[in-house]
Amino acid sequence: MRRIPWTLLVFAAAFAIPWLGSRFYTFIATDVAILALFALSLNLLLGYTGLVSFGHAAYFGIGAYTSAIFMKTLGLPFWLGFPAAGVAAGLFALVFGCFCVRLTKIYFAMLTLAFAQIVWAICFKWNAVTGGEQGMPNVPYPDLDWIGAIPGLDGFRVGDRFYFLTLVLVALAIVALRRIVHSPFGRVLAVIRENPERAEFIGIDVRRYQLAAFAVAGVFAGLAGALFGIFNRGVFPDFAYWTKSAEVLIMTILGGMGHFWGPAVGAAALTILNLQITAYTQYWPLILGTILIVLLFAFPGGLVGTSVDLFRRVRRGRDAGRP
Amino acid sequence: MKRSASLSLAAAVAVAVPLAAPAANTIKVGYPMILSGPGALFGEPSLKGAQMYVDEVNAKGGVLGKKIQLIGRDTKGNADEAVRVVRDMILRDDVQFVVGTLTSAEGPAVSPIAKENKIVFIAPITKTDQLTAPENLHPYVFRSASTTTIEGRSAAEIMAKWGVKRVGTMSPDYAYGQDATKAFVEHLKRIKPDVEIVDQQWPKLGEADYTPFINAQMGKKPDAVFSSLWGGHFVTFAKQAVPLGYFKSLNHNFVGAGEAGSIESAKAMGPDYPVGIWSNTYDVFDWPAGPPAHKEYIARLKTYTKQEFPSSWPITGYISMQFLVEGIRKANSTDSDKVAKALLDLTIDTPIGKQTMRAKDHQANRGQFWGQMKMDPKYPFAVMDKLTYIDPAPFMD
């Protein structure tokens, strides 16, 4: 089988979207890119370590608020606010994770949810810093003039320029995530997912590894949050609300958590479906529920898992026919 | 990995299909509004009022020979979703104007989107002063709603006539409640310097048990109380306050801002309404002293909504759309920059009288109806007595 560099092709195709000239396509593409990173960060826990987090939006929200406070309240540049968002989200994930990894299964999930609700409540109530219920509208765009100075990229609108920046940052973050899951550290996480008791027996400090995975996932969620806050032109307490956690969980499961790119595909599918359907009806939750039921019963591997299976079966069938 | 890549490509192509070509002979107006959840009680009728006005204009041939198409979308009462919906409408539906949003979180969140896309945005309901405060004002944001300043000061004007000395406040602890209460207290102290603020209670928004706040306030023995508990929050509060003898202890010297006197609140409480208190509303279905235009408007509204006692909220949508259409007419163009300029100091004839969009702060001189609530044997709910429309023009600055 010839090896086609699909990832590069997709990146190139994504990079070309602003040339289509539609602000709407750029808008969707930015949304998808950011949410893909968010979903991929969750999959480090869900698919690779086997930890079900119901509160992943907390770190997304912390990242968004951190960068908004840096850029709007303090007037600092993006290249300080963006890493700070990752650091802050990672630190919070480390602290909350310390408590969460002491529990297992449903208790772990409930505790992540509890911490996320605390984060949400703080964002909702702390008027002086987070703007309370009204959030922080009008987060400034980073300085993007330098992108216009790059030959070939001049003449684009600010939204397109921000998309270029987002795409490159998200791509770098995804490369980093991929290296992490394929590193020895990532392999240990897979061992823990498959059999925590056995991992314990062979001398792996399971809790410490789980905590590390939790913190790393938090960092990437925070980075996604920082980008989303700017893209959304405002940061609101709902970023950390449990529905956001559920949304990213659905994206991951929809795309397929058994596959590295599954959550990214899930993010794209869910975002596009949502946009298309809410334009026609208010009953989006009803449709989403139906899709989920069909998915869980008919395609437990998610979109990617199912299509990979199908692809293999077709190929095996074809190979079987050969002499 | 390979499959996923081609899948995402396929998904990207799928988006491309439903892009509709913009019709040249319609003016598209986006109307983001709460259409689900508890806020829909106010959002739905507001959209209906806007639609009614649009239908009336279209029936007369539209504006500049173009029909208006109103696109209502649900914001679910949250700012994040409001921003999302508005950007979607601008980018995909090609709406040329945005009128809408309800809460004090939604309005200020949508305003920067209007600025970026150079699209005129008129807020029909959002009251927070921050929306058109000097640091947030830009050429494209306008408000046909009242403001927290207007509302607080109107209440102070009413209370100043009572000859009370010891005043308390009871307001929800968030932007709207704080802003309205601050405006009330400052204005009352200015026009009646001998008044003393003896107690301020700040229950959280959506509080379920007001008893501790009610008891604490009664302990301070105020002569009169100002409250900005709005909509359903007032209903919850009043139901708990009546049995505790709260309103009696105040001799019913209570001003409930936040549309506590609207037909929606009155219907929700029925015979339990604490009659005798003062309150406000955006509209009343029976305004005996009102101009003929208001009576005609109510008659049309009754037919349009098929309600015997129509809601008090359609007027918010009606007037905001009226400002937009008159602005387009005056500009003789649908160009956003020209319409934005035409709206400055534009005076229009609305069902509740003349309204002017002030050039200096893009704010209409929008007052509200105030009155004392009483039972009328004609209706199964409380209605307003001593009904007055308070024109805020003298005390807006």
Give the model confidence (pLDDT) of A299-318 as tens digits: 878 888 888 888 888 877 76
Closest-CA distance of chain A to residue B30, Å: 12
Q: Does residue B250 sit in the same domain as residue B346?
A: no
Q: Does residue B175 sit in the same domain as residue B269?
A: yes
Closest-CA distance of chain A to residue B267, Å: 27
Q: Which of B5, B18, B111 is the closest to A6 by Cβ?
A: B5
In the predicted structure, residue A73 carries a pLDDT above the cut 90? no
Burial of A99 (0-12, 13-18, 19+ CB in 10 A): middle
* Region of residue A135 (left: phi > 0; alpha: psi -120 to 50; beta: else): left
DSSP conformational letter for B60: T
Q: Does residue B316 sit in the same domain as residue B216?
A: no
Indicate whether B9 belongs to any domain: no
pLDDT in tens, B250-306: 999 999 998 888 998 898 888 889 999 999 999 998 888 889 999 999 999 999 988
In the predicted structure, residue A320 carries a pLDDT above the cut 80? no
Indicate whether A275 belongs to any domain: no
pLDDT grade, residue A218 (50/70/90)?
A: very high
Q: Does residue B254 sit in the same domain as residue B155?
A: yes
DSSP conformational letter for B268: H
Domain count, chain A: 1
Cβ distance of A134 and B5 shorter than 8 Å: no
Structure confidence at residue B268 (pLDDT): 86
Indicate whether B222 belongs to any domain: yes
Q: Does residue B274 sit in the same domain as residue B379?
A: yes
Q: Does residue B268 sit in the same domain as residue B384?
A: yes
What kind and span of H or E run contains A131? none
Which residues of chain A lie closer than 8 angstroms to B14, CB-CB?
272
Nearest one of B241, B320, B297, B308 to B70, comparing CA atoms? B320
Domain range holding B200?
A: 149-281+368-395
Cβ distance of B112 and A138 shorter than 8 Å: yes
Indicate whether A134 belongs to any domain: yes
Indicate whether A204 belongs to any domain: yes
Cβ distance of B79 and A304 shorter than 8 Å: no
Separation CA B40–CA B313 (nearest Å): 11
Domain range holding A68?
A: 6-241
Cβ distance of A279 and B8 shorter than 8 Å: no
Please report, in angstroms and rounded to a whole number, the separation of the first and last CA atoms in chain B.
Answer: 63
Separation CA A60–CA A97 (nearest Å): 15
Indicate whether A117 belongs to any domain: yes
Indicate whether A51 belongs to any domain: yes
SS3 B224: strand
Q: Does residue B139 sit in the same domain as residue B185?
A: no
For chain A, how big is the Rg over CA atoms in Å? 20
Q: Does residue B142 sit in the same domain as residue B194?
A: no
Q: Does residue B57 sit in the same domain as residue B192?
A: no
SS3 B169: strand
Burial of B68 (0-12, 13-18, 19+ CB in 10 A): buried
Indicate whether A279 belongs to any domain: no
Which residues of chain B lie closer than 8 angstroms to A23, CB-CB?
91
CATH number at residue B386: 3.40.50.2300
Which residues of chain A lie closer than 8 angstroms to B105, CB-CB?
133-135, 236
Q: Establish if A18 touches chain B: CB-CB under 8 angstroms.
A: no
Indicate whether B31 belongs to any domain: yes
Contact A234, A139 (CB under 8 A): yes
Separation CA B397–CA B394 (nearest Å): 8
Indicate whether B190 belongs to any domain: yes
Helix B40-59, helix B292-305: angle, nearest 10: 110
Which residues of chain A lie closer than 8 angstroms to B104, CB-CB?
134
Structure confidence at residue A161 (pLDDT): 87
Q: Which of B7, B36, B128 is the closest to A282 by Cβ?
A: B36
Indicate whether B362 belongs to any domain: no
Lowest mean pLDDT among A43-47, A76-80, A313-317, B249-253: A313-317
Indicate whether A307 belongs to any domain: no
pTM for the whole structure: 0.79
pLDDT in tens, A134-188: 788 888 888 877 777 777 777 777 888 889 999 999 999 999 999 999 999 999 9
Domain count, chain B: 2
Structure confidence at residue A220 (pLDDT): 95
Indicate whether B391 belongs to any domain: yes
Which residues of chain B lie closer than 8 angstroms to A272, CB-CB?
11, 14-15
Q: Does residue B240 sit in the same domain as residue B153?
A: yes
Q: Which of B19, B80, B87 is the closest to A27 by Cβ?
A: B87
Tokens of A239: 């970023």
Q: Does residue B330 sit in the same domain as residue B350?
A: yes
Q: Does residue B158 sit in the same domain as residue B272?
A: yes
Indicate whether B291 belongs to any domain: no
Tokens of B3: 């499959």
Pairs of CB atoms within 8 A across A/B:
127
Strand pairing of B368-375 and B382-390? antiparallel
Of all residues in chain B, what percent carry a pLDDT higher than 90? 56
What kind and span of H or E run contains B61? none
SS3 B355: strand
Q: Residues of chain B whose pLDDT is less than 50?
A: 1-22
CA angle centred on A123, ends B152 and A106, rounded to 5°? 135
DSSP conformational letter for B333: S
pLDDT in tens, A234-283: 898 888 888 889 889 988 988 888 888 889 999 998 888 888 787 777 67
B392 phi and psi angles, rounded to 5 deg: -85, -5
Which residues of chain A lie closer than 8 angstroms to B35, CB-CB?
282
Q: Which of A132, A238, A279 is the closest to B80 by Cβ?
A: A238
